[in-house]
Amino acid sequence: MDIHEYQAKELLKKFGVNVPRGGIAYSPEQAVYRAQELSGEKCVVKAQIHSGARGKAGGVRICSTDDEIADAAAWMLGRKLVTHQTGPQGKLVGRLYIEEATDIAQEIYLGFVMDRKEERVVVVASAQGGMEIEDISADEPDSIIRSVVDPAVGMQAFQAREIAFQLGLDAALIPQAVKQITGCYKAMDELDAAMLEINPLVVTGAGEIVALDAKLSFDDNALFRHPDISELRDKSQEDSRETYAEDRGLSYIGLEGEIGCIVNGAGLAMATLDMIKMSGGEPANFLDVGGGASPERVLMSFKAVLNDPNVEAILVNIFAGINRCDWIAEGVVRAVQELKLTMPLVVRLSGTNVEEGRKLLNESGLNITTAETLAEAADKVVAAWKKASTKNAEAI
């Protein structure tokens, strides 16, 4: 789960991380009022969306007057901001963060990520801040600093000092840097965060180290331990298809193809996506219906897949162990009838009660194509999708 910049900064403040003063605004008038509360010569109006590179898309503006603030706020609010991270669909700006302007003398990149290879939290830092870590790695690979944290003892002061010295910070700033780095690690550890990024962490003209931006992502599986963080979720920033499925207990990831997939088991689901591509199609989603799927759960899965307007055909691929093929077949028949499904549908069943399941499908009298193997199912659904797409194009 991701949260907004201003929410991340509020959390980091509790762990001793230095952040600029600021306030949230939902209208141009409120943005002007927040700026007046800060009482500085300049302020920064920041669009709050779950994406980086907001500045390049016009989502971060430095303003000097009330009129400039109001104009910037009016331009951002209600707009879908498109960055290279959001994709062409963009993300809707529903709130702004009005922050005091900072006199920047130096920019640093500081990130904390879970490294699966190391099975540890790894600190990634660079003296070349203010740009994407991928760009830093490509342009200045030697500037990347990596430090692995032992979970048994956590981030130690000497380790934070080593990072600070490698960043080339002035000796007088080392104690501040140690406080910021250890505070970030403590926040990541105690909040069960999966990723923490501060880009840039800046040294000001007055000699302060300040987190000018902040990004926090959390492990969804640990949110039950943090109800206060769960409350920070903004569903308007998430893929509506994935939100719908998650709220109904389905494992779903939206993709960009036209063939919807309903599969049981993550491994089989991945194999199904690969097979569809090998047959010349593009999968529209990953969906694991899970073990012990009831007819009602199968129906919910169909609804989740059909929430994507790009879906033009559906492949159901079930290998029943915990599941039962007759349950799946009953759910498929019910879904076709209740949802009045007309698009191509291919079903491949294997495993427990497979004969009963196939019998239900064959005797339903519905337009359901069956297959015995995954390769056959993928070929059939891609062929049916291409045929239906051609007919639709001719009709237009």
Instruction: Check residue 292 and give its pLDDT.
Output: 67
Kindly state whether residues 270 and 182 are assigned to the same domain: no
Kindly state whether residues 131 and 213 are assigned to the same domain: yes
Kindly state whether residues 352 and 310 are assigned to the same domain: yes
Kindly state whether residues 75 and 128 are assigned to the same domain: no
User: For 266-284, what is each residue's pLDDT tens digit?
Assistant: 899 999 999 999 999 999 9
Domains identified in the chain, total number: 3
Is 220 annotated as ligand-binding?
no
Per-residue pLDDT at 396 exceeds 60: no
pTM above 0.85, yes or no: no
Is 247 annotated as ligand-binding?
no
Per-residue pLDDT at 394 exceeds 80: no
Between helices 28-38 and 66-76, what is the axis angle to 10°?
A: 140
Q: Is residue 274 part of a domain?
A: yes
Asked if residue 262 lies in contact with residue 316, where contact means CB atoms within 8 angstroms, the answer is yes
- Compute φ and ψ for 332, nearest 5 degrees: -60, -50
Report the SS3 class of residue 16: coil
Task: Give the residue from 254, 262, 241 showing the smallest Cα distance to 346.
Answer: 262
Kindly state whether residues 218 and 246 are assigned to the same domain: no
334 contacts: CB under 8 Å, gap ≥ 6 = 295, 298, 299
Instruction: Check residue 392 and give its pLDDT.
Output: 60
Is 285 annotated as ligand-binding?
no
Domain closes at, from 63, 80, 100: 100
| Residue 134, token pair as written in the block | 């991928």
- Compute φ and ψ for 22, nearest 5 degrees: -170, 175
DSSP 196-241: EEEEEEEEETTS-EEE---EEEE-GGGGGG-HHHHTT--GGGS-HH
Is 107 annotated as ligand-binding?
yes
Per-residue confidence band for 8, with pLDDT thresholds at 50, 70 and 90: very high
Q: Is residue 6 part of a domain?
A: no
Instruction: Check residue 235 and give its pLDDT.
Output: 87
User: For 48-96, what is each residue's pLDDT tens digit?
Assistant: 999 988 988 999 999 999 999 999 999 999 999 999 888 888 999 999 9
Report the SS3 class of residue 274: helix
Q: Is residue 4 part of a domain?
A: no
Asked if residue 273 lies in contact with residue 260, where contact means CB atoms within 8 angstroms, the answer is no
Q: Is residue 1 part of a domain?
A: no
Q: Does residue 200 have a cis peptide bond before it, meaning omega lies within 30 degrees of 0?
A: yes
Kindly state whether residues 251 and 116 are assigned to the same domain: no
DSSP 167-184: TT--GGGHHHHHHHHHHH
Q: Is residue 289 part of a domain?
A: yes
Kindly state whether residues 108 and 95 are assigned to the same domain: no
Asked if residue 236 lies in contact with residue 2, where contact means CB atoms within 8 angstroms, the answer is no
Is 99 annotated as ligand-binding?
yes
Per-residue pLDDT at 170 exceeds 70: yes
Per-residue confidence band for 135, with pLDDT thresholds at 50, 70 and 90: confident
Asked if residue 350 lies in contact with residue 319, where contact means CB atoms within 8 angstroms, the answer is yes
Is 264 annotated as ligand-binding?
yes
Per-residue confidence band for 42, with pLDDT thresholds at 50, 70 and 90: very high
Distances (CA, A) of 254 to 248, 285, 311: 15, 5, 11
Which pairs count as long-range contacts for 231-236, CB under 8 Å and 24+ apart, including other chains? 232/3, 232/4, 232/7, 233/1, 233/3, 234/3, 234/4, 234/50, 234/94, 236/92, 236/94
Kindly state whether residues 114 and 71 are assigned to the same domain: no
Per-residue pLDDT at 168 exceeds 80: yes
Residue for token pair 């830092």: 125
Per-residue pLDDT at 247 exceeds 60: yes
Kindly state whether residues 29 and 93 are assigned to the same domain: yes
Q: Strands across the sheet with 313-320, in order?
A: 251-254, 285-288, 259-263, 313-320, 345-351, 369-371
Over range 311-318, report the average pLDDT.
Answer: 95
What domain range includes position 304? 240-395
Over range 152-179, report the average pLDDT.
Answer: 95
| Residue 271, token pair as written in the block | 């194999």
Per-residue confidence band for 213, with pLDDT thresholds at 50, 70 and 90: very high
Domain closes at, from 195, 211, 230: 230
Kindly state whether residues 167 and 263 are assigned to the same domain: no
Kindly state whether residues 222 and 247 are assigned to the same domain: no
Domain closes at, from 230, 255, 271: 230
Instruction: Check residue 395 and give its pLDDT.
Output: 56
Distances (CA, A) of 360 to 50, 334, 337, 354: 45, 11, 13, 10
Per-residue confidence band for 188, with pLDDT thresholds at 50, 70 and 90: very high
Q: Is residue 142 part of a domain?
A: yes
110 contacts: CB under 8 Å, gap ≥ 6 = 123, 124, 125, 129, 180, 181, 184, 197, 198, 199, 201
Q: What CATH number does residue 147 fall under? A: 3.30.470.20
Q: What CATH number does residue 344 fall under? A: 3.40.50.261
Catalytic residue numbers read 109, 197
Euclidean distance between CA atoms 64 and 59, whole angstroms:
16
Q: What percent of the chain has pLDDT over 90?
A: 78
Per-residue pLDDT at 130 exceeds 80: no
Is 204 annotated as ligand-binding?
no
In SS3 terms, 86-106 reads as: CCCCCEECCCEEEEECCCEEE
Kindly state whether residues 211 and 251 are assigned to the same domain: no
Whole-number average pLDDT of the chain: 92
